[in-house]
């Protein structure tokens, strides 16, 4: 848990320093940060694996392609926010980490055009939502 906090802290500090001084990240730095965020998100989602049968919500679940990554992440982020009331206390930190890392990842991805809104997606139970999000993040690593 401490390692994830340290990684996220370093990423956040790098982004803040970059924004403050107007410097741009090199393509390699951006890819490295993106890969770290994706890997951390996948690990955090694996931590939620044991709780997925305890969450009884229907959530909008995107099935967009890579060109709509920003909107897809925005939808997942929005829906993760609705899960907060359903999780147990021991999963609250993990869920907060997922939210922060999804937001950080969105800051590295350009918005697509012609993508559908979140509410236009089918609703699925949390276990299917969890699996789709995990698969989407893995596809972004490729």
- Residue 142 in any domain: the answer is yes
Boundaries of domain holding 109: 64-142
Q: Whole-angstrom distance between the N-terminal and C-terminal Cα of the chain?
A: 26
Q: Find, among 68, 69, 60, the residue nearest to 37 by Cα.
A: 69
- Residue 25 in any domain: the answer is no
- Say which residue, 32 or 69, is predicted with more confidence: 69
- Residue 85 in any domain: the answer is yes
Looking at the structure of the chain, the number of domains it has is 1
- Residue 55 in any domain: the answer is no
Tell me how far apart the alpha carbons of residues 100 and 41 are, in angstroms, rounded to a whole number.
Answer: 10
Does residue 36 surpass a pLDDT of 70? yes
- Residue 108 in any domain: the answer is yes
- Residue 115 in any domain: the answer is yes
The angle subtended at Cα 104 by Cα 100 and Cα 110, nearest 5°, is 140
Q: Give CA separation, 99 vs 23, 28, 137, in Å.
A: 26, 24, 14
Under 8 Å between Cβ of 71 and 111? yes
- Per-residue pLDDT band for 12 (boundaries 50, 70, 90) equals low
Under 8 Å between Cβ of 32 and 100? no
pLDDT, one tens digit per residue, over 110-128 is 888 888 899 999 999 999 9
How far, in whole angstroms, is CA 142 from its chain's centroid? 16
pLDDT, one tens digit per residue, over 58-109 is 999 998 767 799 999 999 999 999 998 888 777 889 999 999 999 999 999 8
Average pLDDT over residues 122-135: 94
- Residue 9 in any domain: the answer is no
- Residue 12 in any domain: the answer is no
């Amino acid at each position: 848990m401490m390692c994830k906090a340290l990684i996220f802290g370093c990423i956040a500090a790098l982004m803040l320093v970059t924004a403050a001084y107007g410097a741009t990240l090199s393509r390699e730095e951006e890819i490295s940060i993106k890969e770290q965020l994706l890997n951390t998100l996948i690990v955090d989602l694996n931590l939620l694996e044991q709780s997925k049968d305890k969450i009884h919500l229907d959530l909008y679940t995107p099935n967009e392609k890579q060109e709509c990554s920003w909107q897809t992440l925005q939808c997942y982020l929005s829906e993760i926010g609705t899960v907060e009331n359903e999780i147990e206390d021991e999963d609250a930190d993990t869920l907060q980490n997922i939210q922060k890392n999804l937001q950080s990842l969105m800051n590295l991805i350009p918005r697509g055009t012609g993508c559908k809104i979140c509410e236009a997606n089918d609703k699925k139970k949390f276990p299917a939502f969890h699996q789709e999000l995990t698969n989407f993040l893995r596809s972004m690593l490729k």
